[in-house]
Chain A
């Protein structure tokens, strides 16, 4: 018996050794081949560490801007690190709690009020000289001032705004016997026109959507509403304009059938910054989307014929209106190199040298901080290359563009707004009930926050 077992054990041992050796070789290979962290190009300079969330083609743009900053410097070296979007906020909070945050972070999540309220961020106006403050107040677009501000202080400086407008396909217009030179000036007209552009297959299923209004955050300001009273600082949820906006969204979705739209859109790649943007493939004739698509169409479908127009308001609504967010820079309070970070923020945003920064905005197809940057030769050159981009610049100065309300529970509020739209358009709640529910949910959260000692 023992004689039989011994060779088996020996074989097993040999097998195990071979397996361990294989694992060792793979592990060693992984260690040797793994990309090494970015080395310092200017070890003699003071490092300024930046975190950002861009990847792929966008990361290349960031690296170029960082390179230009480092070329322009003799004192600081900016070291950029791309962190995964999913965990970026958590990573920053943990780093700040551990006393070692980056010196500057590029953000686009709705975090400014929350983080400012927690004492995490440096008020940028404290880093500004009087001249810079005056310049910012004088030159920055109204939305830029609203976006980064919380309780009277500026915590985030915009390095690229996002504005939405209507992209439309003239070829679809012509095919339906419509004049692409006359884009509707009211939402009512747009909806009627969209109906003429809808297409169905032989089974009655949608094969193309003419126009489908979506996103309560855009529609509420267009209907003259919104979620915040900027004078009193109160939330405004159950208002007549908001109700009309939500009822409009619900009604339009009902016309096409909620399930039909879900089915149609689930076959498309509707999210992200994809080459497969369904507007390019012709799945939509008119689509509300952000300005960054212009750059992407230029790259991926340079021969596509398309135009861009501002989202028309409904009768009695507000023109040049809608919701905006953007990319902005924040400097944590515990940053070790706040001055160096501020130098970089000024460099990228163009607060002090708008002509130089104009180029950076064109690299990512971003909207600038101020009209001075927009007027710079590099930006004008970009507009000549992409005339569709002009529409966004026309909308940009509007006072009617609104960001999310600057409340410290902004993510909760954003979730609530999405939930409200979802339950209304699905028909689970009437628009009145959905708004009432949102109002109640927010009141409850506000009361809870007060109870545990928050100011708001």
Chain B
């Protein structure tokens, strides 16, 4: 009895979170499974339509495939690029030189700026006429492209902009680097290993658990990519930045097609779960947990 009472007290303490979680996460999450088999416009009651939403998505919606393609492309490019840049930055900022903490702060700062604020600033930076990038290019006699307004450049502008926020993962890599045992480097140096060998044989292998964590989180984040495109391009020009989450948002909140959007959300969820699972499968081949 006393044990049950203790449990009840424990539940009572966490009940604000528990109730919030149930109402705002768990119930909507599972409701959306049902909603994905309905047509639902928020105002009227959902009406069962079977697998019609899924059938249309797979067979008769070019924008679904296009947005999925753009999102895959982004995940395939931006995640490795971000990983490469943040690891490189962490390595550079891992040297014991005077003022290193200032540099670390400078590189970390952009990642704590709200995404919307960053997006608005980048809209100016990438403005074809009065923007910073084209202004600099003009000094070298180069006419820069229209960036966000050019369908060939808009996607790449967003990829480039993603580098701006690598500070967050850089800090995690820095922490990972601090965890690499010094005796490994000492042993390698005594054995005559050069810096490149120490990097590729000790640092990077020892960093793989952190890289793995960041890649998994990065992939999940890439499939949910929304805010920057919503603020900066609204999916244009010519749908060249119509990310999956953006199209999902349009369907849900602009066309009030909640059933269809729920089906899209579940497809996205399954894709993310599958890719995350696949990444976990690969980790035995390249992630080193030993010390």
* Contact mask for chain B residues 174-204; partner A; CB cutoff 8 A; 1 contact, 0 none: 0000000000000000000000000000000
* Contact mask for chain B residues 60-74; partner A; CB cutoff 8 A; 1 contact, 0 none: 110000000000000
Taking the nearest CB of chain B, how far is it from the CB of A208, in angstroms? 14
Choice from B44, B61, B130, B149 contacting A262 with Cβ under 8 Å: B149
Q: A426: CB under 8 A from chain B?
A: yes
Asked if A411 and B42 make an inter-chain contact with CB atoms under 8 angstroms apart, the answer reads: no
Q: B254: CB under 8 A from chain A?
A: yes
Within the assembled complex, what's the spacing in Å between the Cα atoms of A411 and B257?
12
By beta carbon, the residue of chain A nearest B131 is A266
Instruction: Tell me the residues in window 68-115 of chain A with beta carbons closer than 8 Å to chain B beta carbons.
Output: 89-90, 93-94, 96-97, 114-115
Taking the nearest CB of chain B, how far is it from the CB of A421, in angstroms? 11
Q: A302: CB under 8 A from chain B?
A: no
* Contact mask for chain A residues 412-447; partner B; CB cutoff 8 A; 1 contact, 0 none: 100100010011001010000000000000001000
Segment at the B interface, from A232-240, A321-329, A363-371, A448-456? A448-456
Within the assembled complex, what's the spacing in Å between the Cα atoms of A385 and B70?
53
Taking the nearest CB of chain A, how far is it from the CB of B249, in angstroms? 11
Within the assembled complex, what's the spacing in Å between the Cα atoms of A92 and B53?
25
Q: Known contacts being A120-B43, A267-B129, A267-B130, is A451 close to B52, with CB within 8 Å? A: yes
Q: B31: CB under 8 A from chain A?
A: no
Q: B11: CB under 8 A from chain A?
A: no
Which residues does chain B contribute within 8 Å of A444, judged by CB atoms?
60-61
Within the assembled complex, what's the spacing in Å between the Cα atoms of A263 and B150?
10
Q: A409: CB under 8 A from chain B?
A: yes
Which residues does chain B contribute within 8 Å of A423, judged by CB atoms?
238
Which residues does chain B contribute within 8 Å of A259, judged by CB atoms?
146, 150
Which residues does chain B contribute within 8 Å of A266, judged by CB atoms?
127-130, 146, 149
Q: Known contacts being A267-B129, A419-B238, is A118 close to B47, with CB within 8 Å? A: no
Instruction: Tell me the residues in window 35-53 of chain B with beta carbons closer than 8 Å to chain A beta carbons.
Output: 39, 41-44, 47, 49, 52-53
Taking the nearest CB of chain B, how far is it from the CB of A210, in angstroms? 19
Within the assembled complex, what's the spacing in Å between the Cα atoms of A52 and B254?
18
Asked if B238 and A93 make an inter-chain contact with CB atoms under 8 angstroms apart, the answer reads: no
Asked if B253 and A267 make an inter-chain contact with CB atoms under 8 angstroms apart, the answer reads: no
Asked if B238 and A454 make an inter-chain contact with CB atoms under 8 angstroms apart, the answer reads: no
- Interface SS of B by simple majority: loop
Choice from B42, B60, B239, B259 contacting A93 with Cβ under 8 Å: B42
Q: A377: CB under 8 A from chain B?
A: no
Asked if A118 and B52 make an inter-chain contact with CB atoms under 8 angstroms apart, the answer reads: no
Interface size on B, residues (CB 8 A): 30
Q: A264: CB under 8 A from chain B?
A: yes
Taking the nearest CB of chain A, how far is it from the CB of B284, in angstroms? 41
Within the assembled complex, what's the spacing in Å between the Cα atoms of A320 and B67?
40
Q: A119: CB under 8 A from chain B?
A: yes
Q: Known contacts being A118-B41, A119-B44, A444-B60, is A262 close to B151, with CB within 8 Å? A: no
* Contact mask for chain B residues 254-291; partner A; CB cutoff 8 A; 1 contact, 0 none: 11100100000000000000000000000000000000
Taking the nearest CB of chain A, how far is it from the CB of B195, in angstroms? 37
Taking the nearest CB of chain B, how far is it from the CB of A133, in angstroms? 27
Q: Known contacts being A423-B238, A444-B60, is A119 close to B255, with CB within 8 Å? A: no
Q: Known contacts being A119-B44, A422-B238, A426-B237, is A448 close to B130, with CB within 8 Å? A: no
Q: B56: CB under 8 A from chain A?
A: yes
Within the assembled complex, what's the spacing in Å between the Cα atoms of A165 and B61?
38
Which residues does chain A contribute within 8 Å of B110, judged by CB atoms?
none
Q: B209: CB under 8 A from chain A?
A: no
Which residues does chain B contribute within 8 Å of A411, judged by CB atoms?
254-255
Asked if B39 and A452 make an inter-chain contact with CB atoms under 8 angstroms apart, the answer reads: yes
Q: Known contacts being A259-B146, A451-B52, is A114 close to B236, with CB within 8 Å? A: no
Asked if B129 and A263 make an inter-chain contact with CB atoms under 8 angstroms apart, the answer reads: yes
Q: Known contacts being A411-B254, A412-B255, A452-B52, is A422 close to B129, with CB within 8 Å? A: no
Within the assembled complex, what's the spacing in Å between the Cα atoms of A196 and B218?
54
Asked if B56 and A93 make an inter-chain contact with CB atoms under 8 angstroms apart, the answer reads: no
By beta carbon, the residue of chain B nearest A111 is B256
Choice from A97, A262, A448 contacting B42 with Cβ under 8 Å: A97
Within the assembled complex, what's the spacing in Å between the Cα atoms of A90 and B254?
8
Q: Known contacts being A452-B39, A452-B52, is A262 close to B238, with CB within 8 Å? A: no
Which residues does chain B contribute within 8 Å of A409, judged by CB atoms?
255
Which residues does chain B contribute within 8 Å of A451, judged by CB atoms?
49, 52, 56
Within the assembled complex, what's the spacing in Å between the Cα atoms of A448 and B255?
13
Most chain B CB inside 10 Å of its own CB: which residue of A89, A90, A266, A412: A266
Within the assembled complex, what's the spacing in Å between the Cα atoms of A267 and B149?
12
* Contact mask for chain B residues 109-148; partner A; CB cutoff 8 A; 1 contact, 0 none: 0000000000000000001111000000000000000100
Asked if B255 and A90 make an inter-chain contact with CB atoms under 8 angstroms apart, the answer reads: no
Within the assembled complex, what's the spacing in Å between the Cα atoms of A96 and B44?
10
Within the assembled complex, what's the spacing in Å between the Cα atoms of A451 and B39?
10
Which residues does chain B contribute within 8 Å of A422, judged by CB atoms?
236-238
Asked if B43 and A96 make an inter-chain contact with CB atoms under 8 angstroms apart, the answer reads: yes
Instruction: Tell me the residues in window 250-291 of chain A with beta carbons closer than 8 Å to chain B beta carbons.
Output: 259, 262-264, 266-267
Taking the nearest CB of chain B, how far is it from the CB of A448, in angstroms? 5
By beta carbon, the residue of chain B nearest A426 is B238
By beta carbon, the residue of chain A nearest B250 is A415
Choice from A90, A262, A454 contacting B146 with Cβ under 8 Å: A262
Which residues does chain B contribute within 8 Å of A90, judged by CB atoms?
253
Choice from B56, B129, B236 contacting A448 with Cβ under 8 Å: B56
Within the assembled complex, what's the spacing in Å between the Cα atoms of A120 and B44?
8
Most chain A CB inside 10 Å of its own CB: which residue of B43, B150, B256, B259: B43
Which residues does chain A contribute within 8 Å of B44, judged by CB atoms?
118-119
The 7 closest A-B pairs by CB, nearest first: A267-B129, A452-B39, A452-B49, A93-B42, A118-B43, A266-B128, A266-B129
A sample of 22 cross-chain residue pairs with beta-carbon separation below 8 angstroms, ordered by A number, consists of A93-B41, A93-B256, A96-B42, A119-B44, A259-B146, A262-B128, A262-B149, A264-B129, A266-B127, A266-B128, A266-B146, A267-B129, A419-B238, A423-B238, A426-B237, A428-B151, A428-B238, A451-B49, A452-B49, A452-B52, A453-B47, A454-B39
Beyond the given A96-B43, A120-B43, A412-B255, could you list 10 further A-B residue pairs with CB under 8 A, ordered by the A residue number?
Answer: A93-B43, A118-B41, A259-B146, A262-B128, A262-B150, A266-B130, A409-B255, A422-B238, A423-B238, A428-B238
- Contact residues of B with A, CB < 8 Å? 39, 41-44, 47, 49, 52-53, 56, 60-61, 127-130, 146, 149-151, 236-239, 250, 253-256, 259
